Amino acid sequence: MARTKKNTAKEPVRVRTKDLANGNKSLYLDIYVDGVRSYEFLKLYIVPETSAAAKVANKNTMQAANAIKARRILDIANGAAGITKATGTNVLFTDFVREVIREKKTVKRYGTTIDATLKHLIAYKGEKLTVSQINTNYVRGFVVYLEKSINTHGGNLSNNTKALYCKCLYTVLNDAVRKGFLQSNPMDALSTDEKPHFRDPGREYLTVDEVKAMAGAYCKRDEVKRAFMFACFCGLRLSDIIGLTWGQLSKDGQQWRASVKMQKTGAPLMLPLSAEAVRWLPERDGARDIDNVFEFPSNPAVERAIKAWAEGAGIKKRVTFHVSRHTFATLALTAGADLYTTSKLLGHADISTTQIYAKVIDSKKDEAVNAVSSLFG
């Protein structure tokens, strides 16, 4: 009698271990679906079984790992990524991302960020995957890939950079949903703990003396210097300054104003410009209303130019373009502007955001008073 053929199909998800220097073993999932391998580290650990308690702990840990494994297999079986294969089978994912970049080219900063994200997506899995292969395992693996990636200076990617790339991928996948390539965004299946999150790097700002030092120092990119100094005296974000056109500037008597629809919030802002802000505007030289006021290199080039410029000015702080916005807020409050007015000038929807700057000013006042008291101690 013929024997029944034994089912030798491999499981798409397996629990594996990685030896650690401290003697523990880290548990992770080895996931292989549609020719694509990815890994998910579970943050679960097997410890040396030196006691009965350790054996019980390891048993419970393995049960937890196998429960996660079972959920992942179920996700795969149920098509948790939600791909509509009829439309996504023959479309290369990298080509789809490039199309998004072309569509977003009018928003220069956004397109540049997606372009940087695309380079990492290619380094992660190459260019042969179709949209139908972009699933929850793929995006989980991308998060792990970013943890190990290095920046152009040879260091690890910052947490905010990793969060930005994941946000870009999420946006691209939302585009795929809107266009019918996906039924749902596979990144929605990731838990909050699995995703990198933006962290507030602090409200670094320049003092009056540091602003003067920057104004007097050489910067190899004059357009970057003008834009940064302009932002120090008006508070606009880099994205809004990049999109600023000559037609958005107007003069009412002696008062210059900028009419801006903020890129981040979409809210309109009618911003009065001080004489110092106007002083840093470039010459118009017959430019049309639709022409940009400032011409910019890529974002990395902007930040490199600012870093070198600040170092040349003798400033020890980490200066990025966004420091100009913080500088405007603190200068306004130091000069006596009230919190409500400063909030409106910055375009904050919630005054509690502006209060962060007020706390910075208050802490400096405390330091000054205590410094005077110490003279007589």
* Residues classed as catalytic: 237, 264, 322, 325, 348, 357
**What whole-number distance in Å separates Cα of residue 114 and Cα of residue 101?**
6
Q: φ, ψ for residue 259 (rounded to 5)?
A: -100, 110
**What whole-number distance in Å separates Cα of residue 176 and Cα of residue 131?**
9
Please answer whether residues 195 and 164 qualify as being in contact, where contact means their C-beta atoms are separated by less than 8 angstroms: no
Parallel, antiparallel, or unpaired for β 255-261 and 13-19?
unpaired
Neighbour count for residue 117 (Cβ, 10 Å): 23
Report which DSSP code applies to 207.
-
Helix (H, G, I), strand (E, B) or coil at 21: coil
Helix (H, G, I), strand (E, B) or coil at 348: coil
**What whole-number distance in Å separates Cα of residue 373 and Cα of residue 20?**
54
Element (H, E) at 330: helix 323-334
**What whole-number distance in Å separates Cα of residue 51 and Cα of residue 221?**
65
CA 244 from centroid of its chain's CA atoms: 22
Question: With 0-12 CB in 10 A as exposed, 13-18 as middle and 19+ as buried, what is 268?
Answer: exposed
Which region holds residue 32: left if phi is over 0, alpha if psi is between -120 and 50, else beta?
Answer: beta
Of 44, 345, 57, give the one whose Cα is nearest residue 193: 44
Tell the residue number behind the tokens 């120090």, with chain if given: 232
